[in-house]
C-alpha cells in the first residue's frame, strides 16, 4: 500500500496528473482516471468529459468545438453563480453531449448540454432548445445548461411522441409554389411556366459563372416568402464570399420578417467547418418537417459542398476525374436527397445551385453525378447573359418531372401549346421571344390566354 501511496504523490510528466488535489487523506489519487482493483491498476485509464479531448493527435477542430466544461452543469444550481436565458440549435458530438448554437457557427454564446440531458428530453440534432444556463466563470469556455424549458417552441413533454423523418412516406410533389408576385420580376414568372417548383421539390439551378444564379436564388426566396408566409425559408451558403453572405442574410431577414434562417460559411474557413454547418442546417430542417412544417432550403452551392467533403473526409484510396474522391460524393447526395414531399406531413424543398463551364473537371464531374438525382432543373445560358438578356434561362433545357401534377388541366394544356410554339424557333430566339411576350402582359394567366389568341 505504501508503494501505491508514493506513486500517487508523484507528478507525472506524461499527462496522467492527479485531477483531485483535495482530500489527500483518501489516498490522493481519486478521480484521476485510475481505478484500484485489488491492488492492481485496471488496464488503461477511464476517460471522462474533462480529459476526453486532451489527446493532441485527435481532430483539433472537433476538440475545440466540443470540449466539455470542468464542472457538471446538472449538479449546479442558480445559487452557484449568475444564470440567464439561453437558446440555440442543438449540435451533438459523437460522444453524446453537445452545444446549443445561437448561430450555426461557433460563438462565445454557445451553451454546453450534457448527454444525460439530451437523452432525458429526447432531443435530436437540429432541435431549437430554450432554457436557463449558468454563466461561465473566468476559466470556463461555455455556458452550462441548467434546465430545458422549450424545444422547437413546444413543451418538453411532447418530444417523446415525435415522428421520425426517416419514417415518413415520400410522394411526388403535388402542390405548386407559385412564385409570381406581379409583373416583375420576370424570372419567377418564367420559372412558374417552364420549371415549376412544388412542395418537396429537389431542384438544381445549373449555371455558368456570371449568369445570374444568385439573383434568381434571391428572387425565388422572395416569391416563397411573399406568397407562402407559413413556409420556413432557409439559405445554406457554403464557401461563400463574406460580402455576399451579408447581402443574402439581410435579404432573408427583410422578406421573412426575421423568421427565415441563414447558415453560412466563408471560403476561407476549414472544410470541416463548412460541412458541419451544412449538416446542422439539414438536421434543423428535418426537425421542422417532423413538426409538420413546409421548409425551403436554398443551397449555394452543391459544387462547393462536394468540394468541401472532398477535403474533409478520409481518403478512400480511389480517385475520379479531376482528383475527386468517390467517397466524397455520398454526403452531398445525402443532403440533396433529403428533399421530398411527405404524405400528409409537411415537405422539404431543396433548390441547389451547380456550377458548370468553370474550366474545372471536378465541377463538371459533380454536375454529372447530380444530374439525374433531382426532379427539376433550371438551366441558365451563358450566351443569353453575355447578350444581357435576363433572366438568362434556357427554356428548352429547363423543366420539371411530373409537372402535370402542379398545373390545373387548362393551364397545363396552355403550357404544352407554349412549348410547341417555341420549339419551332431557333435556339437563340426561344428565351428572348418568351421574355418579350411576358413583358407585354401583367400576369402569367394573361400570358397563357394570349397564346390561345395567337
- 16 has pLDDT over 50: no
Mean pLDDT of the residues in the chain: 83
Residue 32 has pLDDT above 70, yes or no: no
Of the two residues 27 and 196, the one the predictor is more confident about is 196
Q: Residue 76 and residue 108: Cα distance in Å, rounded?
A: 20
Which range, 181-185, 296-300, 392-396, 450-454, has the best average confidence (pLDDT)? 296-300
CB 313 within 8 A of CB 327: yes
Q: Exposed, middle or buried, 200 (CB in 10 Å: 0-12/13-18/19+)?
A: buried
**Higher model confidence: residue 24 or residue 300?**
300
Judge contact between 216 and 395, C-beta under 8 A: no
How far is residue 75's CA from residue 97's CA, in Å, rounded to a whole number?
16
Contact between 168 and 212 under an 8 Å Cβ cutoff? The reply is no
Residue 216 binned pLDDT confidence (cut-offs 50, 70, 90): very high
pLDDT (0 to 100) of residue 330: 92
Half-sphere exposure of 51 (CA within 13 A, CB side): 13
**pLDDT digits over 46-100, tens only?**
343 333 333 333 443 344 445 555 445 554 454 566 889 999 999 999 888 999 9
The pLDDT value recorded for residue 229 is 94
**Residue-wise DSSP of 43-64:** SS----TTTTT--TTS-HHHHH
The predicted-structure confidence for 375-392, as pLDDT tens digits, reads as follows 999 999 998 988 888 899
Query: DSSP readout, 309-350?
Result: HHHHSPP-S--BTTTB-GGGGHHHHHHHHT-EEETTS-EEEE
The hierarchical CATH code for the domain 170-451 is: 3.40.50.300
Grid cell in block for residue 119: 437523452
- Determine the pLDDT at residue 210: 86
Read off the DSSP letter of residue 103.
S
CB proximity list for 277: less than 8 A, separation 6 or greater: 104, 105, 236, 238, 263, 264, 265
Q: Where in the chain is the domain with CATH 3.40.50.300?
A: 170-451
83-162 folds as OB fold (Dihydrolipoamide Acetyltransferase, E2P) (2.40.50)
Range with the poorest average pLDDT among 63-77, 258-272, 292-306, 415-429: 63-77
| Res 17: pLDDT | 40
For the cut 80, the answer to whether the pLDDT of residue 19 exceeds it is no
Q: What Å distances lie between residue 52 and 21, 64, 96, 279, CA to CA?
A: 20, 12, 12, 24
The CATH 2.40.50.140 domain(s) of the chain lie at 83-162
CA distances 3 to 6, 10, 21, 40, 211, Å, are 5, 11, 19, 11, 76
| Phi and psi at residue 9, to the nearest 5° | -85, -5
N-term to C-term CA, the chain: 102
At 82, list the grid cell. 449568475
- State what percent of residues in the chain have pLDDT above 70: 82
- Supply 322's cell numbers: 479531376
pLDDT at 321 exceeding the cut of 80: no
Where residue 261 falls among pLDDT bands split at 50, 70, 90? very high
Average pLDDT for 396-412: 93
Range 157-180 average pLDDT: 91
Using omega within 30 degrees of 0 as the cis cutoff, is the peptide bond preceding 29 cis? no
Can you give the pTM of this predicted structure?
Answer: 0.80
Phi-psi region of 238 (alpha: psi -120 to 50; beta: other; left: phi over 0): beta
Q: Is the confidence at residue 4, as pLDDT, over 80?
A: no
- The secondary structure of 206-219, three-state, reads EECCCCCHHHHHHH
Question: What integer pLDDT is reported at residue 24 of this predicted model?
Answer: 41
Spatial separation of the C-alpha atoms in residues 188 and 182, rounded to whole Å: 10
Supply the pLDDT for residue 326: 87
Amino acid at each position: 500500500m505504501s508503494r501505491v501511496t508514493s506513486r500517487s504523490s508523484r507528478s507525472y510528466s506524461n499527462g496522467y496528473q492527479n485531477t483531485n488535489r483535495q482530500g489527500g487523506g483518501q489516498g490522493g489519487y481519486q478521480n484521476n482516471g485510475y481505478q484500484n482493483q485489488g491492488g492492481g491498476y485496471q488496464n488503461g485509464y477511464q476517460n471522462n468529459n474533462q480529459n476526453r479531448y486532451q489527446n493532441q493527435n485527435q481532430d483539433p477542430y472537433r476538440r475545440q468545438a466540443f470540449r466539455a466544461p470542468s464542472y457538471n452543469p446538472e449538479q449546479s444550481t442558480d445559487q452557484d453563480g449568475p444564470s440567464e436565458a439561453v437558446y440555440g440549435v442543438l449540435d451533438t458530438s459523437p460522444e453524446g453531449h453537445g452545444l446549443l448554437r445561437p448561430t450555426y457557427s461557433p460563438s462565445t454564446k454557445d451553451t454546453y448540454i450534457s448527454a444525460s440531458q439530451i437523452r432525458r428530453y429526447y432531443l435530436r440534432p437540429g432541435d431549437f432548445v430554450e432554457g436557463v444556463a449558468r454563466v461561465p466563470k473566468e476559466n470556463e469556455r461555455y455556458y452550462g445548461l441548467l434546465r430545458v424549458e422549450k424545444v422547437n417552441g413546444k413543451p418538453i413533454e411532447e418530444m417523446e411522441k415525435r415522428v421520425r423523418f426517416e419514417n415518413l412516406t415520400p410522394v411526388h410533389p403535388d402542390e405548386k409554389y407559385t412564385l409570381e408576385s406581379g409583373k416583375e420580376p420576370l424570372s419567377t414568372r418564367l420559372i412558374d411556366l417552364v420549371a415549376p417548383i412544388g412542395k418537396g421539390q429537389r431542384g438544381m439551378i445549373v449555371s455558368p459563372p456570371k449568369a445570374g444564379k444568385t439573383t434568381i436564388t434571391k428572387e425565388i426566396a422572395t416569391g416563397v416568402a411573399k406568397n407562402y408566409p407559413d413556409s420556413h425559408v432557409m439559405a445554406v451558403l457554403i464557401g461563400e464570399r463574406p460580402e455576399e453572405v451579408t447581402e443574402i442574410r439581410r435579404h432573408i431577414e427583410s422578406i421573412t420578417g426575421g423568421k427565415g434562417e441563414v447558415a453560412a460559411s466563408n471560403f476561407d474557413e476549414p472544410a470541416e467547418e463548412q460541412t458541419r454547418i451544412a449538416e446542422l442546417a439539414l438536421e434543423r430542417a428535418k426537425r421542422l418537417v417532423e413538426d409538420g412544417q413546409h421548409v425551403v432550403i436554398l443551397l449555394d452551392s452543391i459544387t462547393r459542398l462536394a468540394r468541401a467533403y472532398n477535403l474533409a473526409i478520409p481518403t478512400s484510396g480511389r480517385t475520379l476525374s479531376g482528383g475527386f474522391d468517390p467517397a466524397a460524393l455520398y454526403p452531398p447526395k445525402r443532403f440533396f436527397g433529403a428533399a421530398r414531399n411527405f404524405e400528409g406531413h409537411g415537405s422539404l424543398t431543396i433548390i441547389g445551385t451547380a456550377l458548370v463551364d468553370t474550366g474545372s473537371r471536378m465541377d463538371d464531374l459533380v454536375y454529372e453525378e447530380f444530374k439525374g438525382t433531382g426532379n427539376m432543373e433550371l438551366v441558365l445560358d451563358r450566351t443569353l447573359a453575355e447578350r444581357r438578356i435576363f433572366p438568362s434561362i434556357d427554356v428548352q433545357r429547363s423543366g420539371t418531372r411530373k409537372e402535370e401534377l402542379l398545373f390545373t388541366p387548362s393551364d397545363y394544356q396552355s403550357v404544352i401549346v407554349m412549348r410547341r410554339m417555341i420549339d419551332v424557333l431557333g435556339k437563340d430566339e426561344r428565351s428572348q421571344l418568351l421574355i418579350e411576350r411576358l413583358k407585354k402582359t401583367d400576369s402569367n394567366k394573361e400570358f397563357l390566354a394570349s397564346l390561345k389568341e395567337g
